[in-house]
Structure 1
Amino acid sequence: MSAQLVLRKADFFTGDGQAVAVADRYPQNVFAEHTHEFCELVIVWRGNGLHVLNDRPYRITRGDLFYIRAEDKHSYASVNDLVLQNVIYCPERLKLNVDWAAAIPGFNGAHGAPHWRLGSSGMAQVRPVIAQLEQESQKADPQAFDMAELLFAQLALTLKRYRYAIDNPSASEQEALLDKLITTLAGSLNRSFVLEKFCEQEQCSERALRQQFRTQTGMTVNHYLRQLRICHAQYLLQHTELMVSEVAMHCGFEDSNYFSVVFNREVGMTPVQWRHRSRKAA
């Protein structure tokens, strides 16, 4: 068995005194499973991909936000024009008197929800902060290190203000239409979703929304929802004792045979084979 890939501090930080840096991924390519000697915040700006975090698959796209601890193992696969930024940091190097644990889920190895979403307004607020943070992190003087940490504190608090749970439609009521659609899809894993009805409720053009969705995510609405359901099915197959027919029901498939066909087409193996392989690997 090959050794676990570990990303080292020395390859990403300019010196021992630097606490924060920015690692752009324009685009983010397929990346093997790895851990870090540091922690990171991951913000997805565009495109889509499969993000596997601690053996749990997430279909990610514009607005997804992750808090990654150093010990977490994750990888990227099936990427399509995926654009993201990693804000990396070393908790032990932070000097400001900030309640980091209250702002950053999982800070210093604690358990916390790693996956959140940002709406368009939140993304607009954090973009300039990250841009300024990136400029400071590329400098090597002590003042730049302090400025970067101040900006990181601003970023962490801004993310806390604007983030919301992925399946909480009420949290995105004031957000852009695309954000509301993505959140609604995430909350429709175990029930039917009809885009026409959504557009009627929101009084918008279905054709225009479909085009906007595809431009920003690189996927059709139906493909994205199907991928969300398959990822949820993979998680249930690995971590529960539900029968395949029950997993199908929990993931919005009324016909378990059709579920197995779709699962096999998307994953490359049957649900039973996936369950066996994933548990054996774990």
Structure 2
Amino acid sequence: MAGHLMLKKADFFTSPAQPVAVADRYPQNVFAEHTHDFCELVLVWRGNGLHILNDRSYRITCGDLFYIRAEDRHSYESVNDLVLHNIIYCPERLKLNVDWGELLHSNDVRWRLSSQGMAQARPLIAQLEHESPKPDALSLWLTESLFLQLCIMLRRHRYQPQDAAGPDSGETLDLLMGALGKSLETPFDLQQFCQQQQVTERNLRQLFRQQTGMSVSQYLRQLRICQAQDLLRHSEMLIGDIATRCGFEDSNYFSVVFTKETGLTPRMWRQRYTAAV
């Protein structure tokens, strides 16, 4: 696609030898579609926003993790107190004898990081941020070793959004996120979930809003709308069938909600991208 921004290494790395850099986004504002001549890991700490990656919409919030290749196109829209870290790196500058492709490349670009993983990531990223700008040889080696630790930790503690829980998850918020990811087609009963997990519904609602900036129902609705956007753009399913697939029993209500969230009716959304082909 023509017209998008290209972010350059020279604007983000202090030297041609620096392999990794940390770019904090406190907060991440709306950012137009762009590519890079480097790769990046995106880890979301708080708030929410719409992440458009290679023409697919993702409603993102705390714990979301993305692996972005240099050629990927992405942008941020509809952000609300969105706080994240970009860990940017140049694969050709990594010198350790490591299978970086195995660690960093996956058919799945979007993951979630468990609460335990997020707690472990913070000090590693802080160390990286402190060490990576230094140009001496020892700092370059330490930067790469810290990046390796971070990548291994992310690999160990990541999980797919639709999984019931992370690989080591005992945290209620992780379990709730997994349950919501599996409830795009079916109703979600928060009261029943709280009874199963033996937690107070009021406290869980407060925690969820504090971490994400949304209510549980708003987040689930956004997940369903993102799935609908993807199906409208990349499938020939009837709009009524898409409504059902995205958890809306009534296609008229689906159209009302979709239009309110996106500013376009489902039919207009589909036509916009069909015309662009």
TM-score normalized by structure 1? 0.95
Aligned-partner Cα distance in 2 for 1:90–1:22? 12
Which amino acid in structure 2 is aligned with residue 244 of structure 1?
A: I
Q: Secondary structure at the match of 2:166?
A: helix
Whether the 8 Å contact between 2:114 and 2:166 is mirrored in structure 1 is no
Whether the 8 Å contact between 2:158 and 2:167 is mirrored in structure 1 is no
Aligned-partner Cα distance in 1 for 2:167–2:94? 32
Q: 5+ unaligned residues in a row in structure 2: which ranges?
A: none
Which amino acid in structure 2 is aligned with residue 144 of structure 1?
A: S
Aligned-partner Cα distance in 2 for 1:260–1:270? 6
Whether the 8 Å contact between 1:6 and 1:35 is mirrored in structure 2 is yes
1:63 and 2:63 matched: yes
Which amino acid in structure 2 is aligned with residue 100 of structure 1?
A: W
Which amino acid in structure 1 is aligned with residue 120 of structure 2?
A: Q
Which amino acid in structure 2 is aligned with residue 50 of structure 1?
A: L
Q: Secondary structure at the match of 1:83?
A: strand
Which amino acid in structure 2 is aligned with residue 239 of structure 1?
A: H
Whether the 8 Å contact between 2:113 and 2:166 is mirrored in structure 1 is no
For residues 208 and 142 of structure 1, do their structure 2 counterparts lie closer, same or farther at Cα, with a shift above 3 Å needed? same
Residues matched between the structures, number: 277
Which residue of 1 is the match for residue 132 of structure 2?
137
TM-score normalized by structure 2? 0.97
Which residue of 2 is the match for residue 109 of structure 1?
none
- 1:136-193 deviation line (CA, Å, top 9, x unaligned): 1122222211111111111111100000111010436733111111111111101000
Which residue of 1 is the match for residue 237 of structure 2?
242
Which amino acid in structure 2 is aligned with residue 65 of structure 1?
A: L
- 1:71-128 deviation line (CA, Å, top 9, x unaligned): 000000111110000000011111100011111125xxxxx21000011101011111
Which residue of 1 is the match for residue 144 of structure 2?
149
RMSD of Structure 2 on Structure 1 (CA) = 1.3
TM superposition shift of 1:3: 2.4
Aligned-partner Cα distance in 2 for 1:173–1:95? 31
Q: Secondary structure at the match of 1:79?
A: strand
Q: Which runs of 4+ in 1 moved over 3 A?
A: 170-173
TM superposition shift of 1:277: 0.8
Aligned-partner Cα distance in 2 for 1:71–1:280? 24
Q: Which moved more, 1:141-150 or 1:51-60?
A: 141-150
1:4 and 2:4 matched: yes
Which residue of 2 is the match for residue 89 of structure 1?
89
Whether the 8 Å contact between 1:172 and 1:183 is mirrored in structure 2 is no
Aligned-partner Cα distance in 1 for 2:182–2:35? 30
Identity %: 61
Match for residue 255 of structure 2 among 248, 251, 260: 260
TM superposition shift of 1:281: 3.2
Q: Secondary structure at the match of 1:171?
A: coil
